[in-house]
Structure 1
Amino acid sequence: MSNFWDQKFSLTPNLYGEKPNQFLERDLKKLPPGKILLPGEGEGRNALYAAASQWEVTAIDQSPIAKKHTLKKAHDLGLDMDYHVTDIRDFHFAPETYDVVALIYFHLPENMQTEIHKKTVDALKKGGSIFIEGFGKDQLNYHSGGPKDLQMLYNLDDLKASFPGISWEEEFDGILDLDEGVGHKGAAHVIRLKGTKNSG
Structure 2
Amino acid sequence: MDNIFWNEKFSQTPNLYGEHPNEFVKSNIDSMSAGKILFPGEGEGRNALYAASLGWQVTAIDQSETGKKHCLQKAEKIGLQIEYQVCDALIYMPEPESFDVVALVYFHLPKETLAEVYSKFEKALKVGGKMIIEGFGKKQLQYQSGGPKNPDFLYNLTDLKSVFQNIQWHIEYDGDIYLNEGKGHKGDAHVVRLSGKKIRN
Q: Bin the TM-score by the shorter chain.
A: over 0.9
Deviations 1:94-120 (A, max 9, x none): 100000000000000111111011001
List structure 1 runs of 4+ shifted beyond 2 angstroms.
Answer: none
Shift of 1:55: 0.2
Q: Which runs of 5+ in 2 are unaligned?
A: none
Q: Where does residue 71 of structure 2 map in the other structure?
A: 70
Q: How does 1:19-168 map to 2 (within 5 A)?
A: 19-168=20-169
TM-score by length of 1: 0.99
For the residues of structure 2 that align with 1:22 and 1:13, how far apart are their CA atoms? 20
The question of 1:182 aligning with 2:183 is answered yes
For the residues of structure 1 that align with 2:186 and 2:158, how far apart are their CA atoms? 26
AA partner of residue 76 (structure 2): H
Q: Where does residue 196 of structure 2 map in the other structure?
A: 195
Q: Which runs of 5+ in 1 are unaligned?
A: none
Q: Where does residue 8 of structure 1 map in the other structure?
A: 9
For the residues of structure 1 that align with 2:118 and 2:89, how far apart are their CA atoms? 11
Identity %: 56
Shift of 1:199: 3.4
Aligned length: 200
For the residues of structure 2 that align with 1:84 and 1:145, how far apart are their CA atoms? 25
For the residues of structure 2 that align with 1:134 and 1:37, how far apart are their CA atoms? 16
For the residues of structure 1 that align with 2:11 and 2:197, how far apart are their CA atoms? 36
Shift of 1:93: 1.5
AA partner of residue 150 (structure 1): P
Shift of 1:54: 0.2
For the residues of structure 2 that align with 1:75 and 1:13, how far apart are their CA atoms? 17
AA partner of residue 112 (structure 1): T
For the residues of structure 2 that align with 1:150 and 1:119, how far apart are their CA atoms? 23
For the residues of structure 1 that align with 2:59 and 2:82, how far apart are their CA atoms? 6
Deviations 1:167-197 (A, max 9, x none): 0111110010000001000000011000100
AA partner of residue 106 (structure 1): F
Residues 33 and 129 (structure 1 numbering): CA distance in 2 closer, same or farther, change over 3 Å? same
For the residues of structure 2 that align with 1:85 and 1:106, how far apart are their CA atoms? 15
AA partner of residue 200 (structure 2): S
AA partner of residue 128 (structure 1): G
For the residues of structure 1 that align with 2:158 and 2:11, how far apart are their CA atoms? 36
TM-score by length of 2: 0.98
